[in-house]
Structure 1
Amino acid sequence: MAEKKEQARPLAQATDRLSSGDEARPLAQATDRLSSGDGDVEATLRKQKTRRKRCMIKCCGCIVASVLILVAVILILIFTVFRVKDPTVKMNRISVTRLELINRMTLVFGVNMSLAADVSVKNPNVASFKYKNTTTTLFYRDMVVGEVQTPPGKAKARRTMHLNVTADIVVDRLMSQSNVPDLLADVRSGLLTVGTYSIIPGRVKMLSIISKHVVLRLNCTVTVNISSLTIQDLDCKRKVSL
């Protein structure tokens, strides 16, 4: 009986070992599953973070590209369409409207000699050119013999504005002591040369943002044929100041 008991003990120990091994396997499998599950979650989080970074980079790139394109378009418009171009002034025609003579050759004291001029202002800009009072001064031998002012106006975008200027020359001023010899010589020759100087200050304004002050100057030399009351010669020089 004692031998039987001793033989039975190892069998019980083996059974215990088998049972303990069987129970450990599910625990190990569960642990492996948990560890593999944690790895999947971490990988998913990494992918989401990578996608977010890519989206943010794309959005930032689109914003930067849009800003650069907008700046480029604005610069192109400023230097092309919205670039302020110089208005031009031109003396189209000038004529003698009044000149009283004795025997068609001698000037009469106290009588005014009148000149009518057609001056045009061309505005090549996409915005209007507003100008202030225009002053036209008449000269004879560097002496002021007349002056006239024209009211303010506006030359529309890409249009030409015409100014009709009528100026009177006071003959009494022409007959000053210093001018008598030269004036008599001019009258005998039948040609009287006078100078005109017009100044037109104004401003070109675009979109209430771009504004530029412009001053147009027109300096002309006019030779009048006293006999026919016509313009024998006209020479003008233009200047634009910004």
Structure 2
Amino acid sequence: MEERREQEKPLSPFPPEELISHRRQRCLKCCGCSAALLLILAVTILILMLTIFNVKHPTLEITSVKIDGLDSLSNDTNNNNNNTNPTLAAGVSIKNPNAASFKFHEAATEVYFDGTLVGEGRAPAGEAGPRRTRRVDVLVDLVVGRLVGVSRFESDFERGGLEISVYTRVKGVVKVTNVIKRSFVVNITCGMNVDLRSKVVQDRSCTL
């Protein structure tokens, strides 16, 4: 009876040694697949961190400056008439090096003469696309009364040139996802000399 029961027991398709080896091979394959998936995942995350998720600081550049209405300066020095003000038009380029858009608020521009604020202007809010440069135009009314009020104005006016500085500031956000986003304040200051005779802006030097 016992012999019959032993004959009825199912036989293993593999001898004990081969069964252990087979299980070990399956375990190694599973571990290899898991390691490969983890490696692919790590490489993907690294690529994303170096590209899309690597948020860089946008930059500004003042590409052009033009001043109109300088003739009113000579009139105002004589009769102190402040009704007509010259205007400064500046072209500002906002460079976005990121893979996501840079949405910015109003671009604020201030003009200084010998440290005195003589004019302010704003450009409308906008958006610089991924790895794109957006140009905005800023128009600033220069207050003649403030220019004339600076102590060195008369000497500079007689020399035929005004040394002014133009400061532009832009606030905005680079939003990669709803979780990953960074706020930036980008600014630039450019010093320049305005030739009152030729009405040409010379010797422009900018710092970020």
TM-score, reference length from structure 1: 0.73
Displacement of 1:175 after TM fit?
A: 2.4
Equivalent residues of 1:112, 1:170 under 8 A apart: yes
Distance 1:89 1:68, change over 3 A: same
Gaps of 5+ in 2: none
Deviations 1:134-165 (A, max 9, x none): 11111111111111122211001121110101
Q: Secondary structure at the match of 1:59?
A: helix
Structure-2 residue corresponding to 1:144:
117
Q: Are 1:114 and 2:84 counterparts?
A: no
Amino acid at match of 1:230: V
Amino acid at match of 1:229: K
State the aligned residue count.
205
The residue correspondences of 1:15-34 to structure 2 (distance < 5 A) are: 31=3
Q: Secondary structure at the match of 1:175?
A: helix
CA distance in 2, matches of 1:49, 1:102: 98
CA distance in 2, matches of 1:105, 1:229: 17
Equivalent residues of 1:104, 1:227 under 8 A apart: no
Q: 156, 160, 164: which one pairs with 1:194?
A: 164
Deviations 1:185-231 (A, max 9, x none): 01000001111111111111224443222221110112111112221
Q: Are 1:158 and 2:128 counterparts?
A: no
Task: Kindly report the root-mean-square deviation, in angstroms, between the aligned alpha carbons of the 2 structures.
Answer: 3.0
Equivalent residues of 2:52, 2:100 under 8 A apart: no
CA distance in 2, matches of 1:169, 1:77: 47
Distance 1:156 1:103, change over 3 A: closer
Structure-2 residue corresponding to 1:61:
32
Amino acid at match of 1:109: N
CA distance in 2, matches of 1:117, 1:36: 99
Identity %: 33
Equivalent residues of 1:105, 1:187 under 8 A apart: no
Structure with the greater relative contact order (CA < 8 A, sep ≥ 6): 1 or 2? 2
Q: Higher helix proportion, which one?
A: 1
Displacement of 1:73 after TM fit?
A: 1.8
CA distance in 1, matches of 2:23, 2:153: 92
